[in-house]
Each structure stands twice: as C-alpha cells, then as structure tokens.
Amino acid sequence: MSRRRVVVTGLGATTPLGGDVPSTWAALLAGKSGVRSLTEEWASEMSVTFAARVAVEPSEVMERVEMRRLDRSEQFAMIASREAWKDAGSPEIDKTRLGVVVASGIGGVITLLDQYDVLKTKGPRSVSPHTVPMLMPNGPAANIGLELQAKAGVHTPVSACASGAEAVGYALEMIRNNRADIIVTGGVEAAIHELPMAGFASMRALSTRNDAPEKASRPYDKDRDGFVLGEGGGILVLEELEHAKARGAKIYAEVVGQGLTSDGYHIAAPDPDGAGVTRAVQFALDDSGVKLSEVVHLNAHATSTPAGDVAEANALAAALGSDISHVAVSATKSMTGHLLGGAGAIESIFCVLALHHRMAPPTINIENLDEAVTVDVVRDVPRKLPEGPIAALNDSFGFGGHNVVLVFRSYEA
Amino acid sequence: MALTQDAVLAGIKEIVVEVAGIDAGIIAMDKKFTDDLDVDSLSMVEVVVAAEEKFGVKIPDEEVTKMATIGDAVNFIVNNS
C-alpha cells in the first residue's frame, strides 16, 4: 500500500514583519528587519534593550474579553490559526479526523510571571482563575482545538527552539498514520519579558548591539554576537492529498519528510562537529524520497550566534556533499529575530512559499561573510528558484540538543 | 452603611461586562450567570473576587455555588454589607 501523502493547504502567521502571511512574506522578500528597541521601562535596566516584537499587536485584531482569557502566546495562536483555516477554505470535515499539533518553547511565561506579581502584591485570592489554562504550554494548541472542535488529537511537542518544526513533523506523521485527514500545526512564542530576556542574556546568548538593533541579527557575518529574541507564530494546515483534491483545495506544496536526532553533547551548546544535524538531514532526505539534485533551497536555523551558524553550515555541507552547491541557503532570522518555539513554524511557511513562488528570501546584515561559512548564502535580495520539481529543507535545533529537519517539495498537479 | 440594591446591581453589571464582555442592557436581576450570560465557572470566580473588592464583602465559596442569578448575588451582597 502506498503511503498517504501530505500537502499544505493553508497558511497563517503573525510575526515581527507583519500581522499575516502576505505582509510577512512581502517584508521578507524586501529584506526588512523586524527588530526594534524596546520602549518598556524595564528594558532600560537590561544589558539587551531590543527585540523583535510582532508588527501588529493582538489588541488591534482581537476582542478585549477574548484577550484577557488568553496568554499572549495563545493570542498569537488564535490569530494565526484563524488566518490559516480561512486560507484553507474553512474545510468541512468530520471532526474526529481533524487534529491540532501546535508547539511553544516556553509556554505562558508572561502569564506565570504577571500572576506571581499579583500573588505577591494582592494575595492569593486575587490570582486569576485563568492562570493555569493560560500558562500551560499546550494552551495554544488546546485553544485552537476547542475553536475548531478538533477530536483526532491535540498535541504539543516541546523541544525549545526546535518545537515548531517538531510539531510540523508530528502532524505529518499523524496524517501518514491515518489518525487524521487534516492537522492544524505550527508553533508560537511570547517571551519578550524581562525575566526570560535576563536569562538568555546571562547565558551570553543574545546580541548586545543596542546601538543598532536592526543590524543585530546577522547570521554568517563575521561580527555576529548572538541571537535577537522575537515573538509571534506561524500555523500551517496540513491535509492528506486525496482529501485536499476531493474538495478542490489550493495546494501550496507537499510535506515529504522529517528527520529527528539528538546530540547527547551539551544542554545549550551545539555539538561542534554537527554529527547530529548531519544524521537528521540524512534521515529526512531518506524519509522524503526526493533526489538530492532536486534540493535547491534551505531555510537555515542560523540564529546569529558565533558557534551555532558555522557548526550548522558544516553539518549541512557534510550531509549534502557536492549537492550543497545548488542549495540556496536563507537565514530569515536576520529579519524576524528568533521566535524560539515559533521559529520552525514560520520558517516552514517560508520554505513552502519559497517553493510555491519559486523565490528564496534573502539574508540581511552580512557585511563581511565569515570565511568558515562555505554554503551558498542568499544575500540582500531574493533569488529565483528553478522550474520543475524542486525541494526545500528547514532545519531547527533546540537547547537540549534537539535536531529537526523537514523536507518540502513543490506540488505538481 | 448598607448598600442599596440598585447600587449593587449597577456595580455587578460593570463587573460582568468587564469579565464576560456582555452588553450591559441584557443584565438583569432574573438573568442566570451560566445559561443566560455565558459566565462559566472560571469567569464566575473572577466576578466574585471583583465583587468582594468593590463592595468590601466576603463571599464564601459555598455561597457562590448557590448564586444562580444576578439577583442571588445582588441580594447576598446587600444583606451582608
């Protein structure tokens, strides 16, 4: 029996570049930065005073009463999933065949910290009864599942900055395994708050380029000095191919494979020889069945940290061999910042759109390319991708040594 | 000083509008929190805590379970203020 095939039929997002997918994609191709100085009072106390906040505040598109029961990460999830579901044509489906797999790296950390402040200042009786549903990391997935009445299963993989990609892979398997015909999947994150920022800053993981925030996220540049914290999220509607065809759905691209490995090396640092990444790429390509000659694009994890970018590039080169020469590599975190658990999701959307429009987005802020980076980086302006069957990879890694690689292929009707 | 029923009703209306986002015009003494106003058990806790702060009364949990309507809440607060 042939394997059930999975396609992408809907996209939704709210990101530092735009309040939806079309505005985000347009800003991405234009090479715009979503990174800005923070205006909050607490920011002035920090060693890092900037981040990539969403371009459109949830309050601009969501009712106040709904907002007060949802953590900011859950607000992003609802905004992006509504766009994605509508984009998919709001399909009529047996709800027992509809699932949700939406990740978050940290969960409702802002709610947790805000309610702790309430506890300390006003006492336990004043703590909101919505605290627990708002802080639980499965809250974004659960709220989407409730709205869509999904009954095939609602899941939340957690693997730090690989979470969003792991969610998409989990969704792929759920459809392949015949647990569902449609899965709403992706990842969200809302952690721009003084505590997580102070924690990341203490690890020396964040860029400290306070005088030029829009230049701070500079993957592959010699002077990169850390990542830029971002917020937002992305949601994809994955659907079994025959189901999508039967209802005449618009098909953006096909999801054809995933590879998962772990480093077993360090809680936060990447394994310098990148063996776990290399194996994950190989597993993903084997799973996908795409020919190496078809792989023309890769959306890199590339967070702009000194160690991570080079280790990743070396691992990719090792996995793809001489075929790396025809892969256009884009590091879109140069524009969006790092959305942690949302990163793998928005970057999956970027891969899907790159295949659909046959256009690889640029990488900005490379003034002096690090000589140790041997992959072909798309710099400053987008690059046209070839006609015919083509494939793209999205790799994501998380603190803890999690490696996730996804493979997408252009869809030919 | 005892609170009047009208004053308490007006205050409860404000709270329910804030918590549940309901049009103030449909909130009346005979309306049921759950069936008529869509105030679920979690939101009911918010209403109670806000009412305690606003009117300076203590509303024990066993009393909350008996409060089916807006009027039940208003009368409890009036009688215990």
Tell me: do A367 and A386 sit in the same domain: yes
Alpha-carbon span B71 to B79, nearest angstrom: 12
H-helix or E-strand spanning residue A286? helix A275-288
Tell me: do A265 and A221 sit in the same domain: no
What is the DSSP secondary structure assignment for residue A381, as one 8-state letter?
S
- The secondary structure of A42-80 as a DSSP string is GGGGSS--EEB--SS-GGGTS-HHHHTTS-HHHHHHHHH
**Burial code of A260-290, b = ≥16 C-beta within 10 A, e = fewer?**
bbbbeeeeeebbeebbbbbbbbbbbbebbeb
Checking DSSP bridges between strand A328-330 and strand A359-360, what pairing results, if any? Answer: unpaired
At A270 the pLDDT is: 86
- The total of structural domains in chain A comes to 2
Show Cβ contacts of residue A264 under 8 Å, excluding neighbours closer than 6 positions.
A276, A401
Distance from CA of A319 to the nearest CA of B (A): 52
Which residue ranges in chain B fall short of pLDDT 50? none
Kindly state the tokens that stand for A250: 């618009």
Domain that holds residue A51: 8-246
- Residue contact A126–B45, C-beta within 8 A: no
Kindly state the tokens that stand for A326: 């025809």
Residue A2: inside a domain: no
Residue A88: inside a domain: yes
Tell me: do A215 and A117 sit in the same domain: yes
Alpha-carbon span A61 to A381, nearest angstrom: 31
- Residue contact B21–A65, C-beta within 8 A: yes
pLDDT tens for each residue of A309-349: 999 999 999 999 999 999 999 999 999 999 999 999 999 99
Tell me: do A293 and A235 sit in the same domain: no
- The secondary structure of A326-364 as a DSSP string is G-EEE-THHHH-B-GGGHHHHHHHHHHHHHHHTEEPPB-
Distance from CA of B7 to the nearest CA of A (A): 23
Tell me: do A84 and A197 sit in the same domain: yes
Tell me: do A221 and A124 sit in the same domain: yes
Kindly state the tokens that stand for A60: 């601009």
Catalytically active residues of A, by annotation: 161, 301, 338
Contact at 8 Å (CB) between A113 and A131? no
Kindly state the tokens that stand for A142: 């659960």
Cβ-Cβ contacts under 8 Å, A64 against chain B: 21
ipTM: 0.84
Cβ-Cβ contacts under 8 Å, B20 against chain A: 65
Distance from CA of B21 to the nearest CA of A (A): 5
- Of the residues B41, B43, B47, B52, the best mutation for testing chain A's interface (the one with the most A CB atoms within 10 Å of its CB) is B43
Kindly state the tokens that stand for A245: 């065809």
Alpha-carbon span A154 to A218, nearest angstrom: 36
- Whether A130 contacts chain B with CB within 8 A: yes
- Of the residues B15, B17, B19, B42, the best mutation for testing chain A's interface (the one with the most A CB atoms within 10 Å of its CB) is B42
Q: What are phi and psi of A384, to 5 degrees?
A: -65, 140
Residues in chain B: 81
- Residue contact B42–A133, C-beta within 8 A: yes
Tell me: do A161 and A294 sit in the same domain: no
- Whether A59 contacts chain B with CB within 8 A: no
Nearest Cα residue to A408 out of A257, A277, A281, A264: A257
Active-site position among B6, B35, B38, B40: B40
* Helix, strand or coil, per DSSP, at residue B44: helix
Tell me: do A235 and A271 sit in the same domain: no
- The total of structural domains in chain B comes to 1
Alpha-carbon span A23 to A336, nearest angstrom: 13
Domain that holds residue B38: 5-80
Distance from CA of A62 to the nearest CA of B (A): 13
Kindly state the tokens that stand for A330: 């884009």
H-helix or E-strand spanning residue A232? strand A232-240
Nearest CA in chain B to A125: B49
Contact at 8 Å (CB) between A311 and A270? yes
Torsion of CA A162, A259, A253, A1, to 10 degrees: -140
Residue A251: inside a domain: no
Residue A252: inside a domain: no
What does the pLDDT profile of chain A (413 residues) look like in tens digits?
Answer: 589 999 999 999 999 999 999 999 999 999 999 999 999 999 999 999 999 999 999 999 999 889 999 999 999 999 999 999 999 999 999 999 999 999 999 999 999 999 999 999 999 999 999 999 999 999 999 999 999 999 999 999 999 999 999 999 999 999 999 999 999 999 999 999 999 999 999 999 999 999 999 999 999 999 999 999 999 999 999 999 999 999 999 999 999 999 999 999 999 988 888 999 999 999 999 999 999 999 999 999 999 999 899 999 999 999 999 999 999 999 999 999 999 999 999 999 999 999 999 999 999 999 999 999 999 999 999 999 999 999 999 999 999 999 999 999 999 87
Tell me: do A205 and A281 sit in the same domain: no
Tell me: do A162 and A265 sit in the same domain: no
State the amino acid at position A2 in one-letter form.
Answer: S
Q: Provide the CATH number for the domain around residue A294.
A: 3.40.47.10
Q: How many Cβ contacts (< 8 angstroms) between chains A and B? A: 19
Cβ-Cβ contacts under 8 Å, B43 against chain A: 69, 129
Does B40 participate in catalysis according to the annotation?
yes
- Residue contact B43–A64, C-beta within 8 A: no
Tell me: do A224 and A94 sit in the same domain: yes
Distance from CA of A61 to the nearest CA of B (A): 16
- Whether A126 contacts chain B with CB within 8 A: yes
Show Cβ contacts of residue A351 under 8 Å, excluding neighbours closer than 6 positions.
A253, A297, A299, A392, A393, A394, A406, A408
Residue A276: inside a domain: yes
Who among A65, A125, A130 is closest to B42 (CB)? A130
Residue A186: inside a domain: yes
At A174 the pLDDT is: 98
Contact at 8 Å (CB) between A385 and A354? yes
Who among A65, A129, A133 is closest to B20 (CB)? A65
What is the DSSP secondary structure assignment for residue B34, as one 8-state letter?
T
Q: For chain B, where are the E strands, in sequence order?
A: none
Q: Which single residue is written with the structure tokens 């059930």?
A: A4
Contact at 8 Å (CB) between B67 and B33? yes
At A27 the pLDDT is: 98
Residue A1: inside a domain: no
Helix axes A306-320, A275-288, angle to 10 degrees: 40
Who among A63, A69, A126 is closest to B49 (CB)? A126
Degrees, nearest 5: CA angle A215-A29-A191: 55
At B1 the pLDDT is: 58
Tell me: do A238 and A261 sit in the same domain: no
Number of H helices, E strands in chain A: 13, 14
Q: Provide the CATH number for the domain around residue B27.
A: 1.10.1200.10
Final residue of a structural domain among A202, A221, A246: A246
pTM, two decimal places: 0.95
Q: For A31-181, where are the E strands, in sequence order?
A: 36-37, 50-51, 98-104, 154-155
At B21 the pLDDT is: 85
